[in-house]
Amino acid sequence: MVHVLETGLEFIARENPNGKPSVRGYNIINGQLTSSSDGVTFESKNPALLADCLGEFPLSTRDDVHSALDAAHAAFTGWAATPAPTRGQIIGNMGRLLMEYKDDLVALETREIGKTLKESGGEIQEAIDTCLFFQSEGRRLYGQTVNSELPDKELFTYRRPLGVCGIINACNFPSAVPFWKMIPAIMCGNTCVWKSPQDAPLLSFALARIMHQAGLPNGVINLVHGKGSGAGQYLVDAVDEGLVNKISFTGSTEVGKMIGEVCGRNLVSCSLELGGKNPLVVMPSANLDNAVAGAYWGAFGTAGQRCTSLGNLIVHEAIYDEFMEKFMAKVKSTHIGDSSVHKDVLYGPMLSEKYAKDFMIGLDMAKSSGATQLWGRGEITTDNQPENFMGNAGDGVFMWPHVFADVTEDMKCFHEEIFGPAVTIVKAKDFDHALHLANASPYGLSSAIYTNDRLEAYRYKTGIKAGMTGINNSTTGAEAHLPFGGVKGSGNGTRESGIWVIEAYSYWHAVNDELSGKLQLAQMDVDEIEAVEAEVDWAQLA
């Protein structure tokens, strides 16, 4: 168990099959551990071992969310007045504490959502990198001194915080994504109410306690647990009540549109990072082994449960058969299981039973679209498991890898995201057709092309409608210092990570300082400068 959690916590008397403890978790409101106002709780279960309960957590009520908002409003004035370098120092402390507790947090994340240990390690490192990057941004929260068109006047611009930010993130990246959101938010002087993912409350609880251990004042970040339809909805509803100045949401496009409508009618800023049907194109000049490796990881890494996972695999018809032979051989050799028990598995379980049910619906949609199912048999059970499954299939919620071929642009499965280990394969006639197919879905998050033709690479990166593009790389996301986000149905144009995210959590304040002692009006009191026409005998120069 993560030792940062142990102080002041109550452990629940429960027989877990792996011998690991179950805790009683709390909301953190104004720095205090609190239960839900009506005492109702929910459980967090290990998706690789459903009998393993990590803990019980408050099913937060509307009153709980409002208490958190009150605490954030009360803390805002003092935090906004704290010098930005001081705020950066606290964020730096968070990064160093994450490094200290990294191994424990990695094990906890794998236990709670089923990611492999290697992937959990990479995600915790992303949170660390985000803290260390933004620590120094506390000394670079620059404004500008601007020359005035009038004498004896100075003009300045400053970044100002927005106020109270509502933070809602999905459970597939339960450590990196909330840090992408909250670290720049508090760097800019905002305060936050964070609704943890329903399927990752214990990790969120551990991260929030680390933030406070780093020296974060009470009320700057307030954590509430619960369902999206409960605590999440209460937080969005608070926009209509004038209690929230910013919503940052990662999740489905459907929910994102609803949040955008609420924020839009209240003129409140929102950051929306939504779904994707990410294309990966393979051209004849590509190194096929490299392309197969990238497509395989893009489709099935994290059990296909990344917003940047490969959706439509677009293969040039000239190399289609050779590529598919190599690709299917790799798919059929996939090792699946609980990474905390078995080494060298590509992916583990679905994030939760809910995600497993939604994935099965997605599979039915692909079948009914008319696609040809080359591989995959739905849920892995003791009577239905692939050759390289490791462990007891009945313990958790694991899925076969699925491959659907003969997909065309008119099929529903071409356009809709299937959130899980499934890929739809499309055949392209030439480069222009491949680029058309890559742009034909309603999404535009990540994208990729495998080619050794530099003109094709150039035309792809300039012609694709996506927020991110990999050239001879998979449909991965960005690093901690690069902008992450999409276009079209994948988001509203805001970005996370890097210096660009600061725009999402601050506004520009223009100040003019009149030193002349009199009223001077720009545009009206500016002396006109007369241009003198040069006396040139153009005839002699002709």
**What is the rounded CA–CA span in Å between residue 436 and residue 143?**
42
Look at residue 101 in the predicted model and tell me its pLDDT: 97
pLDDT for 428 beyond 50: yes
Using alpha carbons, list the distances in angstroms from residue 498 to 66, 303, 485, 506, 507: 31, 27, 12, 14, 17
Which of 53, 131, 307, 413 is labelled catalytic? 307
Rounded-to-integer distance, Cα 92 and Cα 285, Å:
45
pLDDT of residue 478: 73
How far apart CA 235 and CA 243 sit, in angstroms, is: 9
- What average pLDDT does this structure show over 107-119? 97
For 529, the token pair is: 């400068």
DSSP state string for 230-284: IIIHHHHHHHHTT--SEEEEES-HHHHHHHHHHHHHTT-EEEEE----EEEEE-T
How far is residue 347 CA from its own chain's centroid?
19
Instruction: Give CA torsion, residues 9, 15, 20, 24, to 10 deg.
Output: -20
Q: Which of 36, 471, 500, 19 is nearest to 230 (CA)?
A: 36
> By CB neighbour count within 10 A (0-12 exposed, 13-18 middle, 19+ buried), where does 446 fall?
buried
Task: Answer with the residue of higher pLDDT: 16 or 171.
Answer: 171
Q: Which residues contact 229 (CB under 8 A, 6 or more apart)?
A: none
240-254, 270-284, 514-528: least confident range: 514-528
Cα torsion through 278, 282, 288, 294, rounded to 10: -10
What is the SS3 assignment for 387? coil
Mean local confidence (pLDDT), 91-102: 98
The residues with which 53 forms a beta bridge, in sequence order, are 45
106, pLDDT greater than 60? yes
Once rounded to an integer, what is the mean pLDDT over residues 377-386?
96
pLDDT of residue 530: 75
pLDDT digits (tens, 9 = 90+) for 305-353: 999 999 999 999 999 999 999 999 999 999 999 999 999 999 999 999 9
> Minimum mean pLDDT among 133-137, 224-228, 532-536: which range?
532-536
Percent of the chain with pLDDT over 90: 91
Using the predicted structure, report yes or no on whether residue 3 has a pLDDT greater than 70.
no
- Provide the CA 188 distance to its chain's centre, in angstroms: 19
pLDDT higher than 90, residue 525:
no
Residue 4: per-residue pLDDT: 43
pLDDT tier, 8 (very low <50, low <70, confident <90, very high otherwise): low
**Domain architecture of the chain: domains with CATH:** 19-274+496-505 (3.40.605.10), 278-480 (3.40.309.10)
- Please, are residues 413 and 404 in contact by the beta-carbon 8 Å criterion? yes
Mean pLDDT of 381-406: 96
- The pTM assigned to this predicted structure is 0.94
Q: Which of 294-308, 398-412, 516-530 has the lowest mean pLDDT?
A: 516-530
3-state secondary structure at position 439: helix
- The number of angstroms, rounded, from the C-alpha of 448 to the middle of its chain's C-alpha atoms is 19
The answer to whether 171 is a known catalytic residue is: no
Q: How many Cβ atoms sit within 10 Å of the Cβ of residue 521?
A: 8
| Greater pLDDT, 135 or 532 | 135
Pair type for strands 278-282 and 448-450: parallel
How confident is the model over 260-279, as pLDDT tens digits?
999 999 999 999 999 999 99
* Range of weakest confidence among 50-59, 444-453, 517-526: 517-526
